[in-house]
A = this chain, B = another copy of it.
Amino acid sequence: MSSAPIALALHGGCGTLPPDELTPAEWAESRDHLAEALRAGWDVLKRGGRSLDAVEATVVVLENSPHFNAGHGAALNAAHEHELDSAIMDGATLSAGAVAGAQRIRNPVKAARALLERNEAILLIGPAADRFAEEAGLVVVENSYFTTPRRIDMLRRMKAHKASGTAASEGEKHGTVGAVACDRHGHLAAATSTGGYTNKPPGRVGDSPLIGAGTYARDGVCAVSCTGMGEYFMRAVAGHEIAAQMSLAGRSLDEATQAMVFDVIGKQGIGAGLCAVDAAGHVVVPFNTVGMYRGFVNADGDCYVGTHADLEFRGTWDRN
């Protein structure tokens, strides 16, 4: 077995994460699901598997959890429906797959992965994405499968904000899940999945399914998955800009990602976060908000799960 570093990082969305948004039991469960998602990806990596499989496995766990804005538990749009976006990218080949505006795919990241493997269209939208998933043998569900009581309540609150002209908190607005990984062969991969933001206009697509914006991976440089108001990441072409800062301007992963989160996006007053890994297996999970659902296992096997700055779990996982 090669001694190349393996590493994995994830996020489950950034924002204010108001403590009273969830019960203590729900907070504990959301952290458990972050750890479970990390474990799913880490199990792939430590047995010598591909980073592409690891990020998919990690994102599937987060999509299946009701606590994150992707898959089951995704945000409702202004028409009381779910429109789901996801992308996955293989840093080794720059192959990619993505879906946007999907309404029936239980795990959108699996459809993105199937498109990557098909190697024809990278991005399929709307009912065509749903049909593709069904034809590819993936599980399709009714749109209501994705709905949780919490998202119904959030939509009600967002519509009340809109009607009364009050501002919504970052915590009420969005969320996204994503993962990045470096495998034993030094290959990088990134995946992202989201329901967008609560009360979004139908048909709106953010940065998550766009290669180079919310999702990007290139071997030898970095893999990135972003969370925050997508339009800002789209204008910044955030994922590819981080890679360009590293590959063309000699910046480190820390420097390039801090600049994106705190300067490029943060100075516009926008909550932002991301998870990223470089070719040496160094992982970062920067965010400029009160909290971000996040976790990583680094090249030393140090495991970390956190939500707010002071609510963290640390441990060490076996690399072999």
Contact = CB atoms under 8 A, between A and B. Distances in A.
Interface of A: 94-96, 100-101, 120-129, 131-132, 200-206, 210-213, 216, 230-231, 234-237, 240-241, 244-245, 248-249
Contacts of A245: 248
Contact of A125 (B100, B241, B244): B100
What 8 A-B pairs have minimum CB-CB distances, sorted nearest first? A128-B203, A212-B237, A244-B244, A248-B248, A121-B204, A237-B240, A94-B235, A123-B205
A14 to B, nearest CB: 20
Contacts of A95: 235
B235 A244 contact: no
30 contacts: A94-B235, A94-B236, A96-B235, A100-B125, A100-B205, A101-B126, A120-B201, A120-B204, A121-B205, A121-B231, A122-B230, A123-B204, A123-B205, A123-B206, A124-B203, A124-B205, A125-B125, A125-B126, A125-B203, A126-B126, A128-B202, A131-B203, A210-B213, A211-B234, A211-B235, A212-B234, A212-B240, A240-B241, A248-B249, A249-B249
Contacts of A125: 100-101, 125-126, 203, 205
A127 B211 contact: no
A203 B120 contact: no
A241 B213 CA distance: 12
A120 B205 CA distance: 11
Contacts of A128: 201-204
A216 B235 CA distance: 9
A203 B132 contact: yes
A235 B239 CA distance: 12
A204 to B, nearest CB: 4
A144 to B, nearest CB: 20
Given A123-B204, A132-B201, A212-B234, 8 more contacts: A96-B234, A121-B200, A122-B230, A123-B210, A124-B203, A124-B205, A125-B125, A210-B210
Contacts of A213: 210-212
Contact of A203 (B129, B210, B216, B230): B129
A4 B259 CA distance: 32
Nearest to A96: B235
A237 B216 contact: yes
Contacts of A249: 248-249
Given A210-B210, A212-B213, A213-B212, A201 B237 contact: no
Which of A96, A131, A203 neighbours the largest number of chain B CB atoms within 10 Å of its CB? A203
